[in-house]
């Protein structure tokens, strides 16, 4: 296999890395449950709290079998680290993290070992102070590692945004068959969606919402279906740029 083929293959298979922090395996006493807890924290950050997700989606993200995944989820529930609520139409589960309990367990381990220096995670200022108030060295290490974790999470989010952006552009082109002039308008809309997700004004689900708005506009009886979609984007996301009229 040629070098360029290897590089292209690696780009495809490494497009969505999964962050894993050893401290989660320590507090759950298992690598599989620790990996799942790491991913739950990632989605909690992206969705700004509780979120809905299917078992199949998690299994695909983590390359887990259903048995492995459900065993890890059951363990996290028994430990009290997560609570879940399930609905059947369509089948999905709502996840809520018990961050207070998780941070308390991490704090307990930190007091009994040097784990705080090796694998700290985000804590409130009050929690961090209780662990580090007598040891400036630990405070320094926590700051450095926290910054590293933040960078990892931001990179993962950027990669996720990039994937959703490409899907959005592909679906919009398929729905509306844009001409060159209209493509400029929709490129600006795409950039606007990326900006508001990166700024935390909307969660990443806004890309899928926008695709659905486009389908609804296309299925409507409106004379200017593209204009109807742009109007919905302006209403729902605060898009304010004045664009040229789109073709009917």
> Three-class SS of residue 240?
coil
**119 or 96, higher pLDDT:** 96
Q: What is the pLDDT of residue 104?
A: 86
Chain segment 135-154, per-residue pLDDT in tens: 555 455 545 444 444 545 65
**The two three-digit tokens of residue 144, written as one number:** 């450095």
Tell me how far apart the alpha carbons of residues 244 and 241 are, in angstroms, rounded to a whole number: 10
CATH architecture of 22-134: Orthogonal Bundle (1.10)
Binned at pLDDT 50, 70 and 90, residue 81 comes out as: very high
> Three-class SS of residue 248?
coil
Pairing mode, if any, of strands 82-88 and 51-53? unpaired
Tell me how far apart the alpha carbons of residues 38 and 41 are, in angstroms, rounded to a whole number: 5
Binned at pLDDT 50, 70 and 90, residue 213 comes out as: very high
Can you tell me the mean pLDDT for 151-174? 78
Chain segment 46-77, per-residue pLDDT in tens: 888 888 988 988 888 888 888 889 999 999 99
CA atoms 192, 195, 200, 203: torsion sign:
positive
Tell me how far apart the alpha carbons of residues 209 and 197 are, in angstroms, rounded to a whole number: 13
> 49 in the Ramachandran plot: left (φ > 0), alpha (ψ -120 to 50) or beta?
left
Binned at pLDDT 50, 70 and 90, residue 29 comes out as: confident
Q: What are the DSSP E strand ranges found in 78-193?
A: 82-88, 91-97
Output phi, psi for 74, to 5 deg: -60, -40
Angle ∠(118,30,154) on CA atoms, nearest 5:
55
Angle ∠(219,57,196) on CA atoms, nearest 5:
60
Query: What global pTM score does this model have?
Result: 0.44
Can you tell me the mean pLDDT for 218-226? 91
**The two three-digit tokens of residue 243, written as one number:** 């664009």
Domain ranges in the chain are 22-134, 161-237
**The two three-digit tokens of residue 115, written as one number:** 């784990």
Tell me which of 19-28, 107-116, 125-134 is least confident. Answer: 125-134
Q: DSSP of the chain, one letter per residue? A: --HHHHHHHHHHHTSS-----HHHHHHHTSHHHHHHHHHHHHHHHHTTS-EEE-HHHHHHHHT--HHHHHHHHHHHHHHTSEEEEEEETTEEEEEEE-HHHHHHHHHHHHHHSSHHHHS-----HHHHHHHHTT-HHHHHHHHHHHHHHHHHHHHHHHHHHHHHHHHHHHHHHHHH---HHHHHHHHHHHHHHHHHHHTTSS-TTHHHHHHHHHHHHHHS--S-HHHHHHHHHHHHH------PPPP-
DSSP classification of residue 155: H
């Amino acid at each position: 296999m040629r070098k360029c083929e290897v590089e292209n293959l690696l780009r495809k298979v490494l497009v969505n890395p999964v962050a894993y922090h050893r401290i989660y395996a320590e507090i759950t006493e298992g690598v599989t449950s620790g990996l799942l807890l790491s991913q739950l924290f990632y989605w909690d950050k992206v969705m700004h709290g509780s979120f809905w997700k299917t078992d199949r989606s998690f299994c695909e993200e983590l390359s887990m079998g259903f048995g492995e995944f459900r065993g890890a989820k059951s363990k996290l529930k028994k430990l009290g680290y997560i609570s879940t609520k399930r609905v059947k139409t369509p089948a999905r589960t709502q996840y809520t993290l018990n961050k207070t309990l998780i941070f308390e367990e991490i704090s307990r381990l930190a007091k009994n070992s040097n784990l705080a220096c090796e694998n700290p995670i985000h804590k409130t200022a009050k929690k961090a102070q209780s662990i580090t108030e007598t040891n400036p060295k630990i405070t320094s290490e926590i700051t450095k590692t926290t910054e590293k974790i933040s960078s990892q999470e931001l990179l993962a989010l950027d990669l996720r945004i990039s994937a959703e952006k490409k899907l959005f552009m592909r679906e919009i082109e398929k729905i509306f068959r844009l001409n060159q002039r209209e493509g400029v308008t929709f490129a600006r809309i795409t950039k606007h969606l990326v900006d508001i997700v990166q700024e935390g004004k909307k969660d990443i689900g806004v890309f899928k919402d926008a695709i659905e708005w486009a389908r609804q506009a296309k299925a409507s009886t409106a004379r200017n279906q593209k204009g109807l979609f742009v109007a919905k984007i302006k209403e729902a996301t605060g898009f304010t740029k004045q664009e040229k009229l789109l073709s009917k």
